[in-house]
Amino acid sequence: MAENREVTIYDIAKHLNISAATVSRGLKNSPAVSKNTRKKIAEVALELGYQSNTFASSLRSKTTKTLGVLVPRLNSHFMSSVLAGMEKAANKHGYNLIIAQSLEEAENEKQNADTMFNKRVDGLLISLAYDTRNINHLEPFFKRNIPVVFFDRVYSHPSSISVVINNYDAAYKITKHLIDQGCQRIMHIGGNLLRNVYKDRFDGYRQALKDHDLPFQDKMHLISELSEKDGTAAAKHILSMPAAKRPDAVFSANDTSAVYCMMALKAAGFHIPHDVAFAGFNNDPISKVIEPNLTTVDYAGETMGNIAVTNLINHLQGTGNLYSTNSITLRADLIIRASSLKNEVQKTK
Amino acid sequence: MAENREVTIYDIAKHLNISAATVSRGLKNSPAVSKNTRKKIAEVALELGYQSNTFASSLRSKTTKTLGVLVPRLNSHFMSSVLAGMEKAANKHGYNLIIAQSLEEAENEKQNADTMFNKRVDGLLISLAYDTRNINHLEPFFKRNIPVVFFDRVYSHPSSISVVINNYDAAYKITKHLIDQGCQRIMHIGGNLLRNVYKDRFDGYRQALKDHDLPFQDKMHLISELSEKDGTAAAKHILSMPAAKRPDAVFSANDTSAVYCMMALKAAGFHIPHDVAFAGFNNDPISKVIEPNLTTVDYAGETMGNIAVTNLINHLQGTGNLYSTNSITLRADLIIRASSLKNEVQKTK
DNA sequence: TTGTAAGCGTTATCAT
DNA sequence: ATGATAACGCTTACAA
């Protein structure tokens, strides 16, 4: 009953009166082993209920077929899409994922990076925490030439690759779209400028204003963690302004705060987009549910995850020349919906 | 430059002229080692940039400090919340998570279970795929006494534990709530009855009808994968019915299809909840955004993940008596919102 | 095509 | 409190 010893390649070897080495080779379908013995090995393995021991293997071969994934939080629509894409791609190539979250804290990020290193992941995929200021904690990886792939919230480093979208461009376009709709006083709800995604979106927004001779005002730039509460707070902020000073549009760096800001303004009697037009970022499911539907940027998380992992694995297997570039930029198209269509809606009124 | 050999406990031992065994103990802060040498070991370890090799350790100690998590899909609000809760709890206890998704297919589930077994996870957390019919693929775990924790979509097995909510009860209550609002013809959009969650919700719904002398009709029970499309299709189905035969309420087994059904009916000119009242399940973010807000069941994913992992780890560490029970049922309260408040809304009309 | 034997880095078991 | 030594299960030169 208490069958407790592991079944090893030695057991298989004994059964067949061959050496463990041959069994090891046979199990990997090495052509160096005759078809016949290979078949026998497979049969006996099944019969004895053999299960390979990956660490014994890893210890010897120095490869784990495991990738580390380190993200700020894993429960957002965007991030879980990325992870789904990563898992699919990894699985396809026989790799597993160890996933950990920094909960937006640099300290956790460091600690998680350490354990991943100790678990000898073959590569690391990372999106930085809100307040990470440097990547010293990744030095062990760089030192041992373990490939690091940054995605979304990246950090420029000579010997690693980044997978991103063109945040600057998307923000520029979406801001320009609002301007084209006749908006003149566009507020931006943004994130920590330490992170490329928020910095780039802010820059794109500002450049679009500049190119259209619209002034940028500090009061029109809110920085927060872009949560539901932050969206509601942004609405309160708007309501607290004298009517003449209020924005006629809001461009938020994510959909969550855009939607919660919209809801609060609607509750206060504002008409969207007539009084205030709205644009968000990410194409979160809520953007298709809020009324009017939210104009946003299609951020294809699953694709990003897929590409990041596929690249990493190609690199590990030496088949990838993709690594010759330092950064991969994915498309991120505008999705224009009613919340920003000032003219349209005015017409239909 | 090409510093390539691993720094091992032998290097530390040599530096200090002590044995590797002592270093090994010292690194784990074993009280068998004098405080002084422990300190020295830690210093030299840091100095040499020592990083412990987990497989060497796992190979010897037969424990990996890694838990396997196998889910249908990881990109739903509910599931990513569960995973977030699991990761937090695991991390707190020094465990890592290997996460894989079955993509709702039994075949993938089997294969993933195998690799997790081979990676010698200390325990397995699993929520079953849409069409899994038996758990033979988990036999290796049971045979070797590796604890298996089912959560959400569970399977009754004598030597494993389940973490669930009372789906039957929640469904009963939410159906009763609709009945109390005056609804008489309640449609149910459900999932595959093979899965406890959908079976129990269906049973709860049916029992509530029965207890209130309302007939159950097959035409009022749709089975699907509860996607956005399925929600829209349900609306089409309703629209295709003769007006007199249409439901006056819909209880959906998840929020996604409830919301997409609502949206389609609204677009067709229906007034919610006056014409059709709505209730969903899960408390997904979209349920707070749709208008009118969706009545739903608060399914606390993060808590479920936390409890599942904490229990598993307690069991592994022999500190848990919780394992004496076979099933843990978490609270899942109704969240009543406007979409189901027929009387209220009629009054305000 | 197969076998031999060394070794991966750690920990457990005895000793001392 | 510390040391010597033998595993853990697998891979991989090298030999045959």
In terms of domains, do A218 and A343 share one?
yes
* Residue among B138, B117, B119 nearest B129 (CA): B138
Averaged pLDDT, A106-124: 93
Q: Which of the two residues, B50 and A175, has the higher pLDDT score?
A: A175
In terms of domains, do A192 and A283 share one?
yes
∠ CA A89-A95-A101, nearest 5°, is: 80
Q: Is B36 helix (H, G, I), strand (E, B) or coil?
A: helix
State the residue range of the domain holding B146.
Answer: 64-166+300-330
Angstrom CA distances, A48 to A2, B44, B111, stand at 15, 46, 19
Averaged pLDDT, A194-202: 97
> What is the pLDDT confidence band of residue A240, given thresholds at 50, 70 and 90?
very high
Tokens of A11: 């057991």
Domain count, chain B: 3
Please check the confidence at residue B169 and state whether its pLDDT lies above 50.
yes
**CATH number (domain holding residue A93):** 3.40.50.2300
Residues 106-125 of A with CB under 8 A from B: 108, 112, 114-115, 117-120
In terms of domains, do A162 and A74 share one?
yes
CA A21/CA A41 separation, integer angstroms = 12
> What is the pLDDT confidence band of residue A342, given thresholds at 50, 70 and 90?
confident
pLDDT tens readout for residues A139-192: 989 988 899 999 999 999 998 999 999 999 999 999 999 999 999 999 999 999
Where b means 16+ CB within 10 Å and e means fewer, A56-67 reads bbbbeeeebbbb
Tokens of B15: 């530096």
Averaged pLDDT, A88-102: 94
Averaged pLDDT, A343-349: 48
In terms of domains, do B113 and B145 share one?
yes
Chain B partners within 8 Å of A66 (Cβ)? 98, 119
Contact between residue A161 and residue A149 where contact means Cβ atoms under 8 Å apart: yes
Measured from Cα to the C1' atom, the residue closest to D6 is: B60
pLDDT at A345: 46
The residue type found at B272 is: I
In terms of domains, do B193 and B338 share one?
yes
Tokens of A306: 């897929």
Contact between residue B262 and residue B249 where contact means Cβ atoms under 8 Å apart: no
Residues 26-65 of B with CB under 8 A from A: 49, 51-56, 58-59, 64
Chain A partners within 8 Å of B112 (Cβ)? 91
**CATH number (domain holding residue B21):** 1.10.260.40
pLDDT at A311: 94
pLDDT tens readout for residues B284-335: 999 999 999 999 999 999 999 999 999 999 998 876 544 557 899 999 999 9
Contact between residue B304 and residue B151 where contact means Cβ atoms under 8 Å apart: yes
List of residues 6+ apart from A267 with CB closer than 8 A: none
Where b means 16+ CB within 10 Å and e means fewer, B110-148 reads bebbebbbbbbbbbbbbbbbbebeebebbebbeeeebbb
Nearest to B285 among A3, A55, A286 (CB): A286
User: Does A290 sit within 8 Å of B285, measured CB to CB?
Assistant: no
Q: Domain for residue A3, yes or no?
A: no
pLDDT at A318: 73
Please check the confidence at residue A4 and state whether its pLDDT lies above 60.
no
Is the model's pTM score more than 0.85? yes
Q: Domain for residue B68, yes or no?
A: yes
List of residues 6+ apart from A309 with CB closer than 8 A: A67, A85, A86, A89, A90, A93, A95, A125
Contact between residue B99 and residue A97 where contact means Cβ atoms under 8 Å apart: yes
pLDDT at B5: 67
Q: Domain for residue A113, yes or no?
A: yes
Q: Domain for residue A199, yes or no?
A: yes
pLDDT tens readout for residues B219-247: 999 999 999 999 999 999 999 999 999 99
Q: Domain for residue A2, yes or no?
A: no
pLDDT at B319: 60
Angstrom CA distances, B121 to B62, B125, B279, B302, B322, stand at 10, 10, 40, 22, 21
In terms of domains, do B219 and B343 share one?
yes
CA B96/CA A209 separation, integer angstroms = 46
Please check the confidence at residue B156 and state whether its pLDDT lies above 70.
yes
Residues 17-76 of A with CB under 7 A from strand D: 20-21, 24-25, 27-28, 50, 52-53, 56-57, 59-61
Nearest to A140 among B51, B286, B302 (CB): B51
Averaged pLDDT, B187-203: 97
Q: Domain for residue A214, yes or no?
A: yes
In terms of domains, do A305 and A272 share one?
no
pLDDT tens readout for residues B66-97: 999 999 999 999 999 999 999 999 999 999 99
Averaged pLDDT, A37-65: 90
Please tell me if residue B349 touches chain A, with a CB cutoff of 8 Å. Answer: no
In terms of domains, do B15 and B93 share one?
no
In terms of domains, do A228 and A205 share one?
yes
Burial class (CB in 10 A: 0-12, 13-18, 19+), A219: exposed
Please check the confidence at residue A71 and state whether its pLDDT lies above 70.
yes
